[in-house]
């Protein structure tokens, strides 16, 4: 096994290489910014992880918590783990990957807005949930925020909605920064017009190379998911922001209210695409890292470009699958939306299926370099497949009578968010931190323990939840019916293993941070590993 | 205990996961050969040409699944035929109002589900603890769902849409189905 040092791009094998690096100053500023996001999002993971553990310990009747406090923790955990950790980390790492493929940040204003609005938003969410008792869940389904049964005030609802709006501002700033970075001179369009740049950034150069030319030869594949995600999240965040503004106005007591079905649609118009705020940057990072370890260019043709164009359009027309079970009498529009959005949701399988094919073909019979980073990435890719299959099941309206609002759904999104994107995040940390910090990982063997403890612990835990869900265990219950207690206790054993694995990781990281920087990352002896 | 639909979902899921893992293992195992020939023993262009066909294969599989299932969506499952009895279920923080509370085996029952405050959902569990029905209660609207009872006993209604700090206590413990 080799060390976690990221292998260099093989000369001539990739359409881009490190010779396209920007000025040293931009590189240094980007490094500092990305590291700041990594440390901040990791701190959010620690908080969100502890909160998640408390939730399950209460369900297992190991500890006692007040009912509303349990639901407040649930609210903070959901937003913290999904947006403040995974989403925020991937937003930050985006700029490092883009720079590595020759698309340096052209301005640091938008990234700074992204950073600070997310931090302030998270602080507001923590205060309104854990201290002020807001416990509407991370989707705070309207009109619940205004029916607290005496547990929190409308003012708290307004502050909470404003805090979430700040996180939304962070996402909008991120989208703008990505578009500003990708639709740029770095595309090296032969005819450098805005139209040509836009077409190239969204893959038309791969589809029609004679019409949309670039002197780069071939545009880097990671640019595609980043650009698609930026457009989709920009469009998806706006209706959600509108809902939040409505709720802030209502919280001031002006007698304002919204139709419940409309509010549900506005919520999920953002609530589903936000999954891709994580998945698409994750796909881009796989596109960048896997070819490095495989020692060859990503195996992809025009089909991948078509798939990302499908993602660009369909991603905005899938929200109603979250509302399959909302089919009130006489509401034919809602029922029609459900009918239409089952096939549009299925269409979103294509970017994943074709990406998995490309990645598998890239690894196939390659001289693949196995180390902790690449193993985390491969485990994340396998989880992408597994969670994707669950996604197809969830997209099928006929199955919702059995699955809707059960622990199956909770198991599924932890499978997707933690075991796909989460493993990618750890893989990216093992791959990128040596060059970001200027020092190697202290102990490779501890990285392997982290890997296997995380995989076994997390899969054991989510599998228990999925079985419970198939048996009808309701989601978002502080105290589950007795019939589900045994599997909850089993899952706690797996969670203990998962926590232990993260402590190993934290120890390895802490020790690494205390070591001196190295000068030559390619010639470092790493404890527990072999020489690079 | 799973319902027959739950067992079917689990079986189909496990079959596809097993197939996926076999393929993934094969891909990873192939890197052993790749190490011997330094990754040169692959026709990359052929792999790229095959990618659209993989896409077509996935589309065909999904089209089959769509054709088999879309007609079973809950909103297509209801017909306009008269039901034997109407049961009104009204959710409110934190309980259900159910009228009437008893029906007979063999009766085709239509549940009219509504809410007085926030979103709730009616999860109906049979005496074996299996969830046999799941209907959202949307404030300001009524949602109708019918069920033919074939088994006597005491059924439980649980709220399945998060509705506040006593959500897990929102249970109607004894909807009776008599022989």
Q: CA–CA separation, B51 vs B81, rounded Å?
A: 49
- Round the CA-based radius of gyration of chain B to a whole number and report it: 24
**A489 is a domain residue:** no
B118/A contact by beta carbon, under 8 A: yes
Largest pairwise CA distance in chain B: 75
CA distances from A205 to A53, A202, A299 (A): 47, 8, 16
Task: Please tell me the predicted confidence (pLDDT) of residue A518.
Answer: 59
Side-chain-facing half-sphere of A159: CA atoms under 13 Å: 19
User: Smallest Cβ distance to A358: which of B9, B28, B51?
Assistant: B51
Task: Please tell me the predicted confidence (pLDDT) of residue B92.
Answer: 97
CA distances from B168 to A282, A472, A479, B110, B120 (A): 36, 14, 6, 25, 12
Tokens standing for residue A137: 């869940």
**A328 is a domain residue:** yes
Q: Do B9 and B71 belong together in one domain?
A: yes
Q: Do B98 and B35 belong together in one domain?
A: no
Report the CATH number that the domain containing residue A115 is assigned in CATH. Answer: 1.20.210.10
Q: Write down which residue in B24, B53, B75 finishes a domain.
A: B75
**Is residue A94 a contact partner of residue A86, using CB atoms and an 8 Å limit?**
no
**Is residue A237 a contact partner of residue A230, using CB atoms and an 8 Å limit?**
no
Number of domains in chain A: 1
**A81 is a domain residue:** yes
**A326 is a domain residue:** yes
* Strand bridging mode B143-148 / B95-99: unpaired
Per CB-CB distance under 8 Å, the chain A contacts of B5 are: 399, 401-402
Helix (H) or strand (E) holding B104: strand B102-104
Task: Please tell me the predicted confidence (pLDDT) of residue A5.
Answer: 64
Tokens standing for residue B115: 């809410």
Q: Do B116 and B143 belong together in one domain?
A: yes
Q: Do B57 and B97 belong together in one domain?
A: no
Q: Do B111 and B165 belong together in one domain?
A: yes
For tokens 């199955």, name the residue. A399
**A422 is a domain residue:** no
Q: Do B114 and B172 belong together in one domain?
A: yes
Number of domains in chain B: 2
Count of A–B CB contacts within 8 Å? 249
Task: Please tell me the predicted confidence (pLDDT) of residue A339.
Answer: 95
CA A322 to chain centre: 19
Nearest residue of B to residue A478, measured between CA atoms: B168
Q: Do B87 and B169 belong together in one domain?
A: yes
> By residue range, what is the domain housing residue A242?
28-281+298-342
Residue B19's contacts (CB-CB under 8 Å, 6 or more residues apart) are none
Q: Do B164 and B88 belong together in one domain?
A: yes
CB contact under 8 A, B34 and A483: no
Tokens standing for residue A184: 């740029």
Q: Do B102 and B155 belong together in one domain?
A: yes
Q: Do B64 and B105 belong together in one domain?
A: no
Q: CA–CA separation, A369 vs A351, rounded Å?
A: 26
Q: Do B155 and B118 belong together in one domain?
A: yes
Q: Do B109 and B160 belong together in one domain?
A: yes
**Is residue A133 a contact partner of residue A152, using CB atoms and an 8 Å limit?**
yes
**A107 is a domain residue:** yes
**A482 is a domain residue:** no
Per CB-CB distance under 8 Å, the chain A contacts of B125 are: 472
> By residue range, what is the domain housing residue B37?
4-75
Q: Write down which residue in B75, B92, B121 finishes a domain.
A: B75
Task: Please tell me the predicted confidence (pLDDT) of residue A4.
Answer: 61
Residues of chain A with pLDDT under 70: 1-5, 8-23, 516-532
A392/B contact by beta carbon, under 8 A: yes
Q: Residues of B157-174 as b/e, b for ≥16 C-beta within 10 angstroms? A: bbbbbbbbbbbbebbbee
User: Smallest Cβ distance to B16: which of A339, A389, A477?
Assistant: A389
Task: Please tell me the predicted confidence (pLDDT) of residue A27.
Answer: 87
Give B15's pLDDT tier (boundaries 50, 70, 90). very high
């Amino acid at each position: 096994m080799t060390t976690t040092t990221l292998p260099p791009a093989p000369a001539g094998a990739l359409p881009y290489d490190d010779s396209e690096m920007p000025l040293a100053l931009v590189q240094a500023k980007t490094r500092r910014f990305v590291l700041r996001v990594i440390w901040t999002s990791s701190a959010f993971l620690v908080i969100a992880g502890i909160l998640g553990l408390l939730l399950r310990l209460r369900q297992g009747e190991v500890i006692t918590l007040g009912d509303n406090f349990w639901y407040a923790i649930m609210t903070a955990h959901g937003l913290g783990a999904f947006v403040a950790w995974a989403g925020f980390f991937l937003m930050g790492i985006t700029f490092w990957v883009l720079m590595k493929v020759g698309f340096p940040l052209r301005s640091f204003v938008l990234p700074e807005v992204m950073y600070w609005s997310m931090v302030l938003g998270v602080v507001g969410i923590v205060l309104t949930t854990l201290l002020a008792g807001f416990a509407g869940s991370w989707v705070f389904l309207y009109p619940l925020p205004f029916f607290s049964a005496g547990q929190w005030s409308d003012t708290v609802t307004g502050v909470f909605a404003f805090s979430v709006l700040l996180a939304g501002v962070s996402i909008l700033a991120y989208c703008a920064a990505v578009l500003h970075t990708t639709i740029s001179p770095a595309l090296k369009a032969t005819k450098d017009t805005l139209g040509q740049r836009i077409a190239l950034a969204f893959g038309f150069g791969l589809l029609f190379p004679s019409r949309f030319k670039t002197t780069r030869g071939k545009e880097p594949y990671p640019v595609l998911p980043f650009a698609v995600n930026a457009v989709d999240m920009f469009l998806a965040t706006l209706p959600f922001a509108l809902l939040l503004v409505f709720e802030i106005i209502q919280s001031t007591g002006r007698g304002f209210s919204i139709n419940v079905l409309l509010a549900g649609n506005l919520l999920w118009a953002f609530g589903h695409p936000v999954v891709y705020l994580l998945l698409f940057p994750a796909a881009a990072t796989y596109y960048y890292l896997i070819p490095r370890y495989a020692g060859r260019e990503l195996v992809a043709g025009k089909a991948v470009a078509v798939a990302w164009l499908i993602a660009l359009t369909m991603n905005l027309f899938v929200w109603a699958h979250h509302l399959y079970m909302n089919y009130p009498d006489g509401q034919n529009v809602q029922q029609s939306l459900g009918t239409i959005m089952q096939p549009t949701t299925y269409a979103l399988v294509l970017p994943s299926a074709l990406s998995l094919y490309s990645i598998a073909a890239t690894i196939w019979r390659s001289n693949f370099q196995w180390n902790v980073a690449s193993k985390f990435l491969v485990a994340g890719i396998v989880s992408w497949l597994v969670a994707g299959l669950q996604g197809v099941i969830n997209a099928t309206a006929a199955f919702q009578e059995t699955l809707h609002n059960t622990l199956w759904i909770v198991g599924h999104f932890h499978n997707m968010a933690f075991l796909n994107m989460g493993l990618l995040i750890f893989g990216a940390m093992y791959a990128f931190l040596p060059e970001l910090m200027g020092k190697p990982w202290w102990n490779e063997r501890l990285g392997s323990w982290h890997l296997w403890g995380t995989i076994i612990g997390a899969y054991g835990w989510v599998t228990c939840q999925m079985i419970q869900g198939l048996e009808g265990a309701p989601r978002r219950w502080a105290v589950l019916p007795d019939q589900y207690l045994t599997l909850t206790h089993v899952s706690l054993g797996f969670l203990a293993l998962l926590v232990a694995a993260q402590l190993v990781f934290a120890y390895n990281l802490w020790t690494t941070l205390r070591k001196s920087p190295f000068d030559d990352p390619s010639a470092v002896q790493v404890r527990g590993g072999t020489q690079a | 205990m799973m319902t027959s639909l739950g067992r079917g979902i689990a079986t189909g899921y496990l079959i596809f996961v097993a197939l996926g893992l076999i393929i993934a293992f094969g891909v990873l195992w192939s890197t052993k050969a790749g190490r011997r020939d330094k990754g040169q023993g692959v026709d990359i262009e052929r792999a790229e040409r095959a990618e659209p066909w993989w896409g077509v294969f996935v589309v065909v599989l999904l089209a089959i699944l769509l054709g088999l299932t879309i007609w079973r969506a809950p909103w297509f499952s209801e017909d306009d035929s008269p039901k034997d009895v109407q049961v009104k279920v009204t959710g409110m923080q934190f309980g259900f109002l159910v009228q009437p509370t008893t029906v007979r085996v063999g009766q085709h029952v239509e549940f009219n589900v509504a809410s007085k405050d926030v979103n709730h959902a009616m999860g109906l569990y049979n005496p074996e603890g299996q969830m046999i029905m799941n209907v959202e209660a949307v404030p300001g609207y009524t949602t109708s769902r019918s069920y033919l009872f074939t088994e006597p006993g005491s059924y439980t209604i649980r709220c399945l849409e998060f509705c506040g700090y006593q959500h897990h206590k929102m249970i109607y413990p004894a909807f009776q189905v008599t022989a």
